[in-house]
């Protein structure tokens, strides 16, 4: 049985570190934005805020998969959808072999072993951000993790438009209109998302103790 405090502390420590970094971004760039003729400071805030959002989510996801692995048991007994991660190499094999009859026979032959697998067989990357943690990606990952998405519904539009949308535009060389962006509000929003994510993963661990 894993020690939940170990994983709780890991998530809390990561969140505090990220929150401090976001606070420093607010302090460093808050005044610069006022005279930011070319929008460089604003773009930096957008990219760094998103980086902390995605980075923290991935830290939580990895900690959670390690927690499940240490807890043990079969994936199918409670986390059926995570079998997608256990079948990851089999799906890749089907695609690489053009879904041939031979590949499909091999897939079915491996079914019993895969269905009875433990969490150590799950490829945790299946529930990571994969460089674009918008609401659709989050929704898909929550579905795999069997998490309640309702707490994130209220931030859906702002998440997609500002935190992810602005960053996506900047990262691809565009110049989104950031003249109305409030640095403090943007950073505070990112910080609030870290709390929502931390609570979700920690609550899920508590449910499994």
State pLDDT tens for residues 16-58: 999 999 999 999 887 766 667 667 888 999 999 999 999 999 9
pLDDT given at position 1: 59
Query: Residue 165 and residue 143: Cα distance in Å, rounded?
Result: 22
Both tokens of 40, joined, read 């460089």
- Of the chain, the percentage scoring pLDDT greater than 70 comes to 95
Domain boundaries, the chain: 4-73+125-207, 74-117
pLDDT given at position 34: 66
Nearest CA to 155 out of 182, 139, 128, 135 is that of 135
pLDDT given at position 168: 94
Backbone angles phi, psi at 179, to 5 degrees: -65, -25
The two counts, helices (H) then strands (E), for the chain are 12, 0
Among 60-64, 74-78, 135-139, whose mean pLDDT is lowest?
74-78
For the ranges 6-15, 35-44, 104-113, 169-178, the one whose mean pLDDT is highest? 6-15
Query: Residue 37 and residue 28: Cα distance in Å, rounded?
Result: 17
DSSP, res 130: T
pLDDT mean over 129-158:
95
Backbone angles phi, psi at 118, to 5 degrees: -95, 180
Among 51-60, 134-143, 171-180, whose mean pLDDT is lowest?
171-180
**Residue whose tokens read 């923290």:** 56
Average pLDDT of the chain, as a whole number = 91
């Amino acid at each position: 049985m894993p020690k939940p405090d170990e994983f709780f502390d890991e998530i809390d420590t990561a969140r505090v570190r990220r929150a401090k970094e976001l606070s420093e971004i607010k302090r460093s760039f808050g005044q610069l934005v006022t005279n930011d003729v070319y929008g460089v400071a604003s773009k930096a805030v957008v990219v760094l805020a998103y980086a902390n959002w995605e980075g923290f989510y991935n830290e939580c996801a990895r900690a959670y998969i390690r927690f499940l692995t240490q807890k043990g048991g079969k994936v199918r007994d409670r986390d059926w959808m995570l079998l997608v991660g256990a079948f990851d190499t089999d799906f890749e094999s089907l695609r690489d072999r053009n879904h041939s009859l031979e590949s499909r026979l091999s897939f079915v032959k491996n079914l019993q072993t895969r269905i009875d697998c433990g969490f150590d067989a799950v490829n945790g990357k299946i529930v990571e951000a994969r460089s674009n943690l918008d609401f659709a990606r989050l929704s898909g990952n929550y579905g795999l993790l069997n998490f309640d998405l309702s707490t994130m519904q209220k931030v859906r539009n702002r998440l997609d438009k500002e935190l992810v949308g602005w960053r996506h535009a900047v990262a691809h060389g565009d110049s989104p209109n950031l003249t109305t962006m409030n640095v403090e509000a943007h950073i505070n929003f990112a910080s609030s998302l870290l709390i929502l994510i931390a609570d979700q993963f920690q609550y899920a661990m508590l449910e499994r103790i």
